[in-house]
Structure 1
Amino acid sequence: MNIIEKTYKWNGKLSNRKSTNRIILHHAESKSCTADDIHSWHLENGWAGIGYHFFVRKDGSIYRGRPEGVVGSHAKGSNSDSIGICFEGSYMTETMNQTQINAGRELVTYLKNKYGISKVQKHKDVCSTNCPGTNFPFNEIVNGTVATAPTPTPTPVAKPATSGKATGTYEVTASDLSVRTGPGTNYRRKRHDELTADGKKHDKDKDGCLERGTRVTVYEWKNGWARTPSGWLSGDYLRKV
């Protein structure tokens, strides 16, 4: 297995990870991007730089992200003991090709053997997100088996409230809900400094996400996404109040 080494300019100091107990898998939410693109996006979020330790492209090439032994920035609350792997693509709508699946499987197997671990999770197992997407071939990558059907998406708490597409006041039900520049996960997450003054008050981590319980005014609905003063929010995690 060949890992392509990269040199990045970091914004601040990286901290060493004290333990490695699991691997967390992600998708980039972009149909075409590079490790340098992700590094730039994460710098815009105010982070030190690319938050994943590895990036697997559609052609099967594997790129180094953060140094393997440092704490990542890819799964809030679960970074201190995990390695993050991101796959190029948007697997809510796309289907992963076999070359990328094989590369991901080889990388996961290598890391499991290296650290003596067996626990591999999806990003959505530890955070309120749909990452790495319902079409992500988790079983094929982790266990070498073909999934007979996409992993079902849990029924969102706020779905009944948003089905009518009513405007008005809503409450955030997710622990950390990304604010996007447009109505969909293909739009980038906003930076903390791009939020309204009220939005900033409810983004104490300064990561461009609103905390659970934040109340927002919805002006417009589009494809299940709500336009608010700070930006676009997924309607799956909003409850009408």
Structure 2
Amino acid sequence: MIINVHAGHSLKCRGASGLLDEVNEDRAVKNKVIELLRANGHTVYDCTDDNGKNQNSNLKAIVNKCNDHKVDLDVSIHLNAGGGTGTEVYVYSDNSKAKDEAERIVKNISNTLGIRNRGVKTTTKLYVLRKTNSPALLVECCFVDNATDKAKWNADKCAKAIVEGILNKSVNEHVETPTPKPQSNASSALGTYMITASDLSVRTGPGANCRRKTYEELTKNAKAHDYDKDGCLNYGTRVTVSEFNGDWAKIPSGWVARKYLKKV
């Protein structure tokens, strides 16, 4: 699957707060959801906005990020407020293609955390559900101002429940991230790198549908971070790696062997 995931609100336009803080907790859930989905072979885009100064700019930024990608599902993660208890999931209408996932998610969160199942609800008023191009759902994980919900809250367990609802199968909660073997030909991890091997052939994504490509295919009219029809990354003549914790072999939707890259 190809999936957009984002946490609601921004660091400058924060959401609900009480016994829990929505912005802190929804980002913890979002990060774990993305980790688990990627570990299970799916392409995930993080469409979270941290910079919106008000509700309108925040929502527009999120939707613009979501609509930059053609995906199977948009997932918006929030926490609720207002004195209630339990979890609920919103979709745009009863005909939404995200409704099956929504029903599984709300059931899973309720059962996992031991809180009330408030069900799947429809609304045309939520901007994210109204403006995203792909099937979308919005998860209200629990209530930030309810003592019962707070006592039973666990971000990692909630994230696992969401992922299992999306995929309709069980997944492991703890994911071990492989550590790349050190290479002697790299003096620095950060910067821009050029693909140099004329016989380069790499798998361009984690899924079974991602085909192997030759150097010529990869570099012909390709730009770094373009995606093909399978949602797989097309590696251009240059790839910039500056945001993956020094692991410059790792590109968002796949892996390139370090021996094929030269710093420029």
* TM-score, normalised via structure 2 length: 0.31
Q: Quick check: which has more Rg, 1 or 2? A: 2
* TM-score, normalised via structure 1 length: 0.33
* Structure 1 or 2: more helix by fraction: 2
